[in-house]
């Protein structure tokens, strides 16, 4: 019963929002490799949305393009989510391991990624007046991903619905804390770097004089 290959598992979880992740957990399936590919696909999708859309929908001038915001919005946010969820749910008697949280959350992102790519394709044949199709697709993708993510958290930690909702709220808070600390550490390292660099130049001047 339910002897699926890894791609079939991905398909199964995405198409069965309520049972899929329970099945995944029951069969101890799911692959970290596939999760990594999905997060990479999210990164590509975000860039595609700003770069490959039909010109009538393109919001971003070419000169202002930078790769860093996309990296942040995909990889960094995902990492913060996984870390935050793991930290919160370990304290809340969750049963999920870091690896499983990572896999389940990544699988849940697929509808959103697909909706972005569908929009990129649609944007080449629609005009601005027909934007409603565009927004419908992205809403469907977002709601589907939201549903999957909720059930992913519920399944991986074996929570009730109420506890899942609370855990997600706390996770978002934890993400904010993690990102805040991350920025703090970055600026600290920058200061340290500047300190040692000015020390180095100072010594260089003294040696020369």
Partner 1 sequence: MKYNPSRLLTRVCAGIAALLTALAAPVPAAADEPYDVYNYNYLGEAVPSQAGYVAERAVSGLDLGTTAFSAPSDLCRDRDDNFYVVDSGNNRIVKIDSELQKVLKIYDRFTMPDGSETSLSNPKGIYVSPDTGLIYIADNENARALVSDAEGKVQTVIEKPESTVYDQALTFLPQKILCDNAGNVYIVLNNTTKGAAMFDSSGSFIGYYGANAVPRTAAVIANHFWNMIASEEERQFRRRNAPTAFDNFDIDTAKGFIFTSTSSGASDTDIVKKVNPEGHNLFDYMSGYRWGDLFSTWYSGTTYKTRIVDIDIGDDGSINCLDATTGRVFQYDKEASLLFIMGTTGDQVGSFMAGSVTAVETKGENCESVYVLDGGKGTVTEFRQTVFGRIVHRATALYNSGCYEEALGPWLEVLKRDGNYRSAYLGISSAYYNMGRYKESMDYAKKADASARYNRAFERYRSEWLRAHLTGIAALAAVLAAALLVRKYLKKRRKQKQSAPDAGETAA
The contact pattern for partner 1, residues 97-116, with x = CB under 8 A and - = no contact, is --------------------
127 binds partner 1 (CB under 8 A): yes
Q: Which among 26-34, 122-130, 181-189, 193-201 is the span making contact with partner 1, rule CB under 8 A?
A: 122-130
128 binds partner 1 (CB under 8 A): yes
Q: Which residues of 65-90 are buried (b: 16+ CB within 10 A; e: fewer)?
A: eeeeebeeebeeebebbbbbbbbbbe
Tell me the number of residues near partner 1 by CB under 8 A. Answer: 13
Point out which span in 55-63, 91-99, 151-159, 198-206 binds partner 1 (CB under 8 A). 55-63
First to last CA, the chain: 81
Ordered DSSP codes for 26-89 = HTT---HHHHHHHHHHHHHHHHHHHHSS-GGG--S-GGG--HHHHHIIIIIHHHHHHHHHHHHH
Q: At closest approach, how far in Å is the CB of 135 from partner 1?
A: 16
Q: Which is nearer to partner 1, 126 or 166 (CB)?
A: 126
Among the listed ranges 16-24, 50-58, 70-78, 99-107, the one in contact with partner 1 (CB under 8 A) is 50-58
29 and 61 Cβ atoms separated by less than 8 Å: no
- Residues of this chain that interact with partner 1 (CB under 8 A) are 54-58, 61-64, 125, 127-129
């Amino acid at each position: 019963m339910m002897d699926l290959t890894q791609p079939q598992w991905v398909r199964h979880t995405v198409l069965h929002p309520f049972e899929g992740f329970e099945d995944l957990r029951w069969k101890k399936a799911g692959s970290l490799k596939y999760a990594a590919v999905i997060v990479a696909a999210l990164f590509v999708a975000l860039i595609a949305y700003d770069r490959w859309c039909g010109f009538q929908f393109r919001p971003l001038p070419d000169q202002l393009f930078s790769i860093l915001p996309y990296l942040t919005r995909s990889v960094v946010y995902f990492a913060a989510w996984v870390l935050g969820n793991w930290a919160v749910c370990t304290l809340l008697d969750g049963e999920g391991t870091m690896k499983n949280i990572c896999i389940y959350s990544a699988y849940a992102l697929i509808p959103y990624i697909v909706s972005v790519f569908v929009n990129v394709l649609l944007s080449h044949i629609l005009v601005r007046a027909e934007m409603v199709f565009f927004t419908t697709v992205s809403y469907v993708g977002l709601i589907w991903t939201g549903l999957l993510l909720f059930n992913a958290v519920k399944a991986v930690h074996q929570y009730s619905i109420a506890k899942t909702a609370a855990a997600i709220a706390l996770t978002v808070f934890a993400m904010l804390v993690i990102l805040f600390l991350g920025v703090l550490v970055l600026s600290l390292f920058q200061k340290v770097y500047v300190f040692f660099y000015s020390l180095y130049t100072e010594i260089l001047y003294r040696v020369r004089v």
